[in-house]
Amino acid sequence: MNLAQLILISLCGAFLTYLLGKASSRIRDTFAVFISLLLIIPLFCLYGKNEEITYYSFLGLPLILKITPLSWLFAIAVQTITSLSVIFSLSYMKGKERLDFYYLMLLLVNTGMLGIVLSADLISFYIFWEIMSWSTFLLISYNRGPALHAGMKYIVMSIIGSASMIIGILSLYVNCGSLDFVQIASFIPRTSSGYTLFILILFCITFGIKNAIAPFHTWLPDAHSEAPSPFSAVLSGVLIKMGTYGFILFMYTIAGLNIIINIGGGSFHYLISILAAITIIFPTFIAVLQDDAKRLLAWSSIAQVGYIILGIAIGTGLGFVGGVFHFFNHAAFKALLFLSVGAVEYRTGTRDLNSLGGLIKKMPITFFCALIGVFGLIGMPLTNGFVSKWLIYKALILGEHPFLAFIALFGTWGTIIYSYKLIHNIFLGQLPEKFSNVRKAPVTMRIPVIFLSLVVVVFGILPGIPLKIIDTISASFGFQPQDIQIWGIASETGVLNMVNIFAAIFAALIFVWLLFLMGRKKINIAQDDSYAAGAYVPKDKYNYTVDFYKPLSGMIKPYLRDFVDDFYLWLADVIRTFSDKTRKIYCGDLGYYISYIVLFLAVLIVLKMGLKIW
Amino acid sequence: MDRNDIKKWFKSPDKMGDKYSLWAIYFCTGCGIIEIPPVITARWDAERFGVIPVATPRQSNLFLITGYVSVKTLRAIIRTYEQMPEPKYTVGFGSCPINGGMYWDSYNTIKHLDKYIPIDGWIAGCMPRPEAIFVAVTHLWTLIDQGKAKAYVKYREKYGLYRKNQEMALGKLDWPPLYTTGGGND
Amino acid sequence: MVINILEIIISPVLAFIIGIFFMGLFRKITARLHWRYGPPVIQPFLDLIKLFHQQGFSHGPVFDLGIIMALAGSIVLILFIPFGGICPISNSGGLLVIIYIMLFAPLGIALSGGEAANPNISIGISRKLILALGYEVSFLLALLALMTYYNTISLVDIVEAQDNYKWALFSPLALSGIAYFIIMPAMLGIRPFDIAGAPQEISTGPAIEYGGKYLGLFNIWHALSMFVYIALFVDLFLGGGSNPLTFFIKMLVVFILLTFIHGVFPRFRIEQAIKYLWKWPVIISLSGLILITVIR
Amino acid sequence: MVNPILLIAVPLAFAFSIPLFGLISKRAGRFIPPVAMLFNLVLSIILIPDVLESPVSVFLSGFPPPFGINLYVGPLGILFSAVIALVGFLVSIYALDYIKEGAEEKYHMLYLALLTGATGVVLTGDIFNLFVFFEILCISSYGLVGYLGNKAGVESAVKYLIQGSVGSAFNLIGIALIYGQFGTLNMADIAANINSVSPNQLFIPLVLFIVGFGIEGAIFPLNAWLPDAHSSAPSTISAVLSGIAIETGVYAIARVTFTIFGASDILLFLVLLGLLTLLAGELSAFSQNNIKRMLAYSSIGQMGLILFALGIGTDYGIAGGLFQFINHALSKALIFLATGYMIYRMGSMEISSLEGIGKKMPVSSLCFTVGAFSLIGLPPFAGFPSKFMIVLSALEKHSNLFIVFIGIVFLGTVIEATYFFKVIQVLYFKGAPAGVPAEKKTEISPAQETIKDRGVITGAPIAALIPMIILALLIILIGVYPKAVDEILNASSIELLDRVKYIQGVLR
Amino acid sequence: MNFLTDYIYYIGACGLILIGLYILLTKHNLIKIIIGISIIDTGVNLLIISIGYKNDGTAPIFSRPGLIAENMVDPTVQALVLTAIVIGVAVLAMALTLAIRLYQHYGTLDMRKIKEQRW
């Protein structure tokens, strides 16, 4: 199966799903799962191949699809996350309205993403990018209510991004004469650095918006929290990473390592890194203040993207490997967390962190998977998040960016703060009476979640598997290749041996467990049998989940408003006011209208005779 | 004091541990609250015997009830006692828990605390001086050594009786019974 | 290989002994500062014996798992920290791994406490995590100053670089060292930063529901973490030790200083603590880091 | 070889025969416009290959130009006439069901007259004929705007009429001045002699033409009639006005500036004017709550974009502008048609009242979405290649000024996207309507007077759906396969730019 | 004097157009506005005619003897004016029809008050 057929199958699959839905919802569900899983197989088979195919000609421009190791990695992540999300949707979305439309859009987004990562020229990149953008918009708005506002925010920023991108693309076309990545890559070194910077800035705006880098992040919290949960997983797991893909593409495939490092006196990639650092630090602490589980995760996504971009932009091989690996990991554990929260929402009907609690008794599997996800998010050893973060930190420290490293490391503590809040407020604490009948999540919800947590753990202990692939990518971009082993990474200034660490931790756990068994046998007691100064407190009065970090939020809340968002809203308001003023030109009075005509005539004559404008 | 007797430690570590690591939770009302602080601070320093105040019943193994016990506080006393891990020891301090003391004719005090929870030892007096606590502790050591400080076993065995007494004083209790054993009047 | 395995076995035991000894000493010195006689130095060990044969109440699987995880994390941490030449896992990940393994303990205890569902525990955990946020700023700045100065992330390398009395505390890294020392009471959870477990306010916070062996494990964790943080300080700023004895002596000095601080200070409120931690130690360590970046 | 004069003659003949058909059957009149327009469409398509080979010049009175009146059927003309016929045909099918009662015959007559006028404007080679056809177009559209006879319609029609008359007076003055200078009315002849007169004497007629045609072509300060007329006319008429009428205005401006005057120094001014129009239109539409008015303002914005593209003045840019013209004709017609039945079913033109219509009228909503996406310029719809070409040609200027201009164009696009997406959200994702609203805002519903049977909200009838679906498919087809129109666009842009060829083609 | 005789028609035409524009700009009554348009139309027609006019010109009829082509007035403009007049009449009729309907709806012809369609 060649690449064009792959995309075509994906596209037709999407529409076929829609049509089948008209016949029977059961067939549609089965088919959606089938088509999304089916596509993984050829993608896997494409590993290591270097296939290129020109599939269409648009306005005289050849549209090319090509698979490279980088796009293979992204494509696999995209397809896997989408498949899991489709599987999850089966029960999550059951009984909701307009499901045909939902599946169509979900698979269309998938097609768009596959197209983005597989395309080898800018015009098909743009086309797939836009298809992804608007279908995402339709999906974000799916949940009605506040989702509309979120969708609006998303699409406006997205359109701004694509406007910037199309200017960049066409400017490249005008100057280079081709939109093939290879040709552009050979063109860029020949052009002036000012022009390269202009192009890079244009594209950084686009990818920054999609990727939610600091001044462009404002669409993300709304969109992620309001979208249907399975789609939030796709959104956060892979869709925003299309921006990351774009960053890598432009910084390393098209512009090339040397140019990126040296352009603007070396300040460009440093500037991006600083933006990424800002993206880490503020959203992390804004996430601490959130009371909506998905909103919290959304802010966390922004922060984690900051890590990815920080790793990629810092310009060393170690950082690049870490950044790309963190992309992969973030896709896994953030999708996992969104799906877990989705499962909770499905069973309880709420995702308000202040009213949930104690669900560990009711949904143990979901809890443990979410716990693994949270560990990955924090970067606890034995999860994949640890390895990638370790690589990023090490790159920063050895690259002598101690302040960036500080921000990245300190962000981790913020991560602990909010992820503990997430876990605690949903699963721990006391179970409110109203949730006493909650059942465990259905099978189709558990499968993706369990699979993803396995990914998190396995790649945490044996990080060499994906790191080898990533290292070939980084080597192909001209970075120093790393010494990757199956158990981790060895480099001149330090070894990371995850198997060793795993053995140590495992042995220690066993030891402590034996110690634990040595003591007198424990007695299991009910959760409400808890010390309360001698009082017996009835159920439902003991739920300490409200304002979990009250002292902290009291201190930092005034400084952590999303000023950028406020600024954008103000801007929108200004435009609205201005548009209202513009509208007043059409005042309804015929006399004015005629005077417009006469005045315009007069102005034209004056311009010609008096000012010689034209 | 046989704290430094290593042979004994090897012979019966549980008893020795219990003896020299009495972590006390105090239930202090009235004048009892005045007498406890000197015990644990510099003047008498209970810590040299391993007796330290702890904050929750889960961590304690010595329960000191000092001062009178009203109906309302009885509820908390029972709850606290039931939350303590075994082995656990109780000491009533002052005449009020023993027989009501000067509140013997009050409608609202509990006259005989041992009807509701088992007591290992009493310290009589109104109020006893802090030294009396040390006397009680040393006495408790002896009892532990001899295996006589088994009030918690009694509570477990005659739980039905205790529970009935408790319900008689407090009305229906809103927590489930701790043990299922020991019903009847006995 | 054999030596390595021996080291792996020995170092936790040694750490346990020293930690327990320190705990006893801690109580003793504090008592003496209070003009009391104080318990015997062996007292924490006696307490452990009692605790392990006392009943323990469990609130659920995570309640057990959390405390096991916390203690296991501390034990692993010990394996990573050179102790006067003993360092079983010297070359895997370096300081960055240490920073992350340090997270096991607070997270484990937080999870365990969360399952117990006691409001005071929640408050305690919340305070603990917030406090950690407070001291972590200076901690990380100090570590980064070290790592930048020596341009390595390996703890062993840092220790080696300080051989022959080139202690970091008496080098341009002095500011970082001072900042680290200032935040150490907060890391150890002793006064003036024992807000998380304040017994008089929230009944020892996260440890409320621990009884029996749970409390025993908790106490062991506390002892080990006392060892770990002090050993880390000695390794990072006082040049480690050529043999365990010198190392121990250095630790003792640091420890006694910390105990004095514990003995004489009252407790901060949580906001005060954060304000304090985000002010003076941060200023000092930040200027330390800036100094390092400038002079390098 | 068919005589292109039939393109004008047949609809005109049909238009005036409608009352006659009315004698046979009252219902017969409504089938005439589709037939006539189908004829036109087929004829145009048949003509395209010939025209692309060599333009056809028809002498109406037998005299060759410059003495006689001629039709010049070049690629540009045939392109416009094909699009006019296509949109006219589809809209007239839509009207079969939409226009049911009232002065039906008059509607169809005026409708055909309008299309005849538009076809005449784009085909004629004589400037006075241009004026005459323009007047046919204008007068019939005055009538059609006021066709419903309701308050809004009549008011808009009057305002439109007054402004239109002022414009035509200016045009006539311009023609008079031109004739005074050159003594000829043939466009090719004028163009051939244009350099014999000093430019200073020419700019007054040029300005007068720009103002005169600009009124119809919705250039910024002259377009005050447009939102009123579009919003108060029946949706079919809005579609035709927006898709055809105002575009013929822009066509006339292009023809005058490029072919007749060859005014290359005015191009930058046209670009600025286009940008101004674009911004004014999009900004006005942004906070608009009346859907048809919003669409009308959006038309203004699109006209600005087309003007901008024409003003770039390179062949690729003009091709882009003409592509945008095709896209706008199809998409805006589609959107107006789609909204027509929505408004009729909901009884209100407020955007907020269209809540949840996506479920009740799925096809209409889908068509609206397709049209909106196409207008915004999202792939894979027709708007993408057109915008692509425009921006590319602007960038090919290699001037920083044009990069700023493009920034402004995209600012307009973003605003446009915002309000279109807002409507799409309302259609699909706002709460479902609770049946028919109890109290209908009857006075502002355009179709209300003609159609009484308002039942439960159902989809549009089949006669309305077919044209919409065809339009939507065409938009997607052109978007995916822009090559379909590539050749004719290039030929058209060359026709506009290559004056010598035009002059030779006419004067032989 | 020569100037006046040569340009009198142009001046008249311009005057009429300007008068019409003045009416359009200053008057608010619809009927007056329509009259203004009519005056502009007249002015424009006069302008066109005067372009083709020649002093002492003759009718452009070749079949009649004694008429020289140079002296003939331009016949084209007359055809143009005829057309223009027809168009003008059509517009006028349309305008008046609509004015009547407008009056039925609003009860006034003051265009300042008829501005329901705006913004």
Give per-residue pLDDT as tens, D292-338: 888 999 999 999 999 899 888 888 888 899 999 899 999 999 999 88
Q: What is the pLDDT of residue D453?
A: 43
Residue E111 maps to a domain: no
Q: What is the pLDDT of residue A611?
A: 65
Nearest CB partner across the interface for E118, out of A588, A594, A595: A588
Provide the token pair at B32: 């009892």
Tell me how far apart the alpha carbons of residues A374 and A24 are, in angstroms, rounded to a whole number: 38
Buried b (16+ CB within 10 A) or exposed e, C62-101: bbbbbbbbbbbbbbbbbbbbbbbebbbbbbbbbbbbbbbb
Q: What is the pLDDT of residue D236?
A: 87
Residue E60 maps to a domain: no
B120 neighbors B89 (Cβ within 8 angstroms) = yes
B173 neighbors B162 (Cβ within 8 angstroms) = no
Low-confidence winner among A32-36, C199-203, D393-397, D489-493 (lowest mean pLDDT): C199-203
List the strands of the sheet with A488-491, edge to edge.
A483-485, A488-491, A494-497
In 3D space, the residue among B153, B142, B137, B149 whose CA is nearest the CA of residue B23 turns out to be: B137
Closest-CA distance of chain B to residue A543, Å: 18
Tell me how far apart the alpha carbons of residues D309 and D305 are, in angstroms, rounded to a whole number: 6
Please tell me the number of Cα atoms within 13 Å of B53 on its side-chain side.
Answer: 17
In 3D space, the residue among C137, C154, C141 whose CA is nearest the CA of residue C235 turns out to be: C154
Q: What is the pLDDT of residue A225?
A: 83
Q: State in Å, rounded, how far the first CA of chain B is from the last one.
A: 38
Name all chains with 3 or more CB-CB pairs below 8 Å to chain D: A, E
Tell me how far apart the alpha carbons of residues A510 and A519 are, in angstroms, rounded to a whole number: 15
% chain A with pLDDT above 70? 97
C228 neighbors C138 (Cβ within 8 angstroms) = no
Total domains in chain E come to: 1
Tell me how far apart the alpha carbons of residues D491 and D75 are, in angstroms, rounded to a whole number: 6
Phi, psi of A523 (to 5 degrees): -120, 130
| DSSP state at residue A56 | E
Region D182-187: mean pLDDT is 84
Report how many helices (DSSP H) and strands (DSSP E) chain E contains, helices first.
3, 0
Q: Does C86 touch chain B (CB under 8 A)?
A: no
A613 pLDDT above the threshold of 70? no
Q: How confident is the model at residue D433 (pLDDT cuts 50, 70, 90)?
A: very low
Tell me how far apart the alpha carbons of residues D262 and D194 are, in angstroms, rounded to a whole number: 8
- Let me know if D23 is exposed, middle or buried by CB neighbors in 10 A (0-12, 13-18, 19+): exposed
Q: What residue type is assigned to position D75 of the chain?
A: P
pLDDT greater at residue C2 or residue A141? A141
Provide the token pair at B56: 């929750």
Tell me how far apart the alpha carbons of residues A8 and A18 are, in angstroms, rounded to a whole number: 15
Give the tens place of pLDDT for each residue, D364-410.
888 888 999 999 888 888 888 888 888 888 888 888 888 889 889 98
Tell me how far apart the alpha carbons of residues A329 and A320 are, in angstroms, rounded to a whole number: 14
D102 pLDDT above the threshold of 70? no
Per the CB < 8 Å rule, is E112 touching A586? no
CA A127 to centroid of chain Cα atoms: 20
Per the CB < 8 Å rule, is B3 touching C40? yes
Q: How confident is the model at residue D438 (pLDDT cuts 50, 70, 90)?
A: very low
D441 pLDDT above the threshold of 60? no
Instruction: Please report, for residues A502, C79, C239, the alpha-carbon distance to residue C90 in angstroms, rounded to integers and kept in the order given.
Output: 15, 8, 16
Per the CB < 8 Å rule, is C47 touching B56? no
Instruction: Please report, for residues A88, A89, A365, D41, D277, the alpha-carbon distance to residue A448 in angstroms, rounded to integers and kept in the order given.
Output: 7, 10, 12, 56, 53
Tell me how far apart the alpha carbons of residues D208 and D214 are, in angstroms, rounded to a whole number: 9
Give the start-to-end residue ranges of the domains of chain B: 6-170
CA C243 to centroid of chain Cα atoms: 21
Region D163-192: mean pLDDT is 87
Per the CB < 8 Å rule, is A536 touching B83? no
Q: Does A379 touch chain C (CB under 8 A)?
A: yes
Determine the residue of chain A that is closest to B83 in CA distance: A531
In 3D space, the residue among D347, D338, D325, D344 whose CA is nearest the CA of residue D369 turns out to be: D338
Per the CB < 8 Å rule, is A531 touching B76? no
Q: What is the pLDDT of residue D443?
A: 37
Determine the residue of chain C that is closest to A285 in CA distance: C133
Q: What is the pLDDT of residue D451?
A: 42
Determine the residue of chain E that is closest to D228 in CA distance: E117
Which residue positions in chain C have pLDDT lower than 50?
A: none
Q: Which residues contact D265 (CB under 8 A, 6 or more apart)?
A: A614
E to B contact (≥3 Cβ pairs closer than 8 Å): no
B41 neighbors C38 (Cβ within 8 angstroms) = no
Q: What is the DSSP string of D179-244?
A: HHHHS--BHHHHHHHGGGS-HHHHHHHHHHHHHHHHHHHT-GGG-THHHHHHHHS-HHHHHHIIII
Write down the H helix ranges in D25-65: 32-53
Per the CB < 8 Å rule, is B58 touching A536? no
Radius of gyration of chain A (CA): 26
Closest-CA distance of chain A to residue E28, Å: 7
| DSSP state at residue B184 | S
Per the CB < 8 Å rule, is D392 touching A174? yes
Determine the residue of chain A that is closest to E112 in CA distance: A589
Region D118-128: mean pLDDT is 87
Tell me how far apart the alpha carbons of residues B2 and C240 are, in angstroms, rounded to a whole number: 40
Give the tens place of pLDDT for each residue, B32-57.
788 888 888 888 888 888 888 888 88
The count of CB pairs under 8 A between chains D and E is: 94
pTM, full prediction: 0.89
D40 neighbors D11 (Cβ within 8 angstroms) = yes
CATH label of the domain that carries residue E41? 1.10.287.3510
Pairing status of strand B62-66 against strand B89-93:
parallel
CA B70 to centroid of chain Cα atoms: 16
Q: Which residues of A touch C111 (CB under 8 A)?
A: 371, 420, 423, 428
- Give chain A's mean pLDDT: 84
pLDDT greater at residue E54 or residue A273? A273
Region A469-477: mean pLDDT is 83
Q: Does A380 touch chain C (CB under 8 A)?
A: yes
- Give chain D's mean pLDDT: 83
Give the tens place of pLDDT for each residue, A506-519.
888 888 888 888 87
A589 neighbors E28 (Cβ within 8 angstroms) = no
A127 pLDDT above the threshold of 50? yes
Closest-CA distance of chain C to residue A288, Å: 11
Q: Does E19 touch chain A (CB under 8 A)?
A: no
Q: What is the pLDDT of residue C33?
A: 87
Interface mutation vs chain C, best among B20, B51, B58, most C CBs within 10 Å: B58
Q: Which residues contact A279 (CB under 8 A, 6 or more apart)?
A: A212, A213, A214, A217, A302, A303, A305, A306, A309
Q: How confident is the model at residue D436 (pLDDT cuts 50, 70, 90)?
A: very low
The enclosing H or E element of D288 equals none
Per the CB < 8 Å rule, is E95 touching D143? no
Region A409-424: mean pLDDT is 86
Q: Which residues contact E13 (CB under 8 A, 6 or more apart)?
A: E43, E44, E46, E47, E50
Q: What residue type is assigned to position E113 of the chain?
A: K
Q: What is the pLDDT of residue B159?
A: 83
Q: Which residues of A touch B79 (CB under 8 A)?
A: 534-536
CA A441 to centroid of chain Cα atoms: 25
Interface mutation vs chain B, best among A531, A537, A541, A542, most B CBs within 10 Å: A531
Cis peptide before B87 (omega within 30 of 0): yes
- Let me know if D115 is exposed, middle or buried by CB neighbors in 10 A (0-12, 13-18, 19+): buried
Q: What is the pLDDT of residue C93?
A: 67
CA C183 to centroid of chain Cα atoms: 11
Q: Does A586 touch chain D (CB under 8 A)?
A: yes
User: Does CATH number 3.40.1280.10 belong to domain B6-170?
Assistant: no
Tell me how far apart the alpha carbons of residues C190 and C22 are, in angstroms, rounded to a whole number: 13
Interface mutation vs chain A, best among D207, D228, D271, most A CBs within 10 Å: D207
Q: What is the pLDDT of residue D452?
A: 40
In 3D space, the residue among A265, A278, A276 whose CA is nearest the CA of residue A243 turns out to be: A276
Dihedral angle over CA of C184, C131, A404, A334, nearest 10:
130
C185 neighbors C230 (Cβ within 8 angstroms) = no
Q: Which residues contact B1 (CB under 8 A, 6 or more apart)?
A: B138, B141
Judged by DSSP in three states, B89 sits in strand
Cis peptide before D380 (omega within 30 of 0): yes
Instruction: Please report, for residues A112, A391, A502, C88, D419, the alpha-carbon distance to residue A461 in angstroms, rounded to integers and kept in the order given.
Output: 33, 15, 7, 20, 50
The enclosing H or E element of A89 equals helix A69-92
| DSSP state at residue C89 | S
Q: Which residues contact A573 (CB under 8 A, 6 or more apart)?
A: none
Tell me how far apart the alpha carbons of residues C214 and C217 are, in angstroms, rounded to a whole number: 5
In 3D space, the residue among A281, E118, B134 whose CA is nearest the CA of residue D155 turns out to be: E118
Q: What residue type is assigned to position D500 of the chain?
A: V
Inter-axis angle of helices C2-33 and C244-264, to 10 degrees?
A: 30
Q: What is the pLDDT of residue D431?
A: 67
Residue E89 maps to a domain: yes
Interface mutation vs chain A, best among D323, D423, D429, D480, most A CBs within 10 Å: D429
Q: What residue type is assigned to position D421 of the chain?
A: F
Region B59-69: mean pLDDT is 85
Phi, psi of B66 (to 5 degrees): -115, 130
Tell me how far apart the alpha carbons of residues D348 and C174 are, in angstroms, rounded to a whole number: 76
Provide the token pair at B10: 């090897």
| DSSP state at residue A546 | T
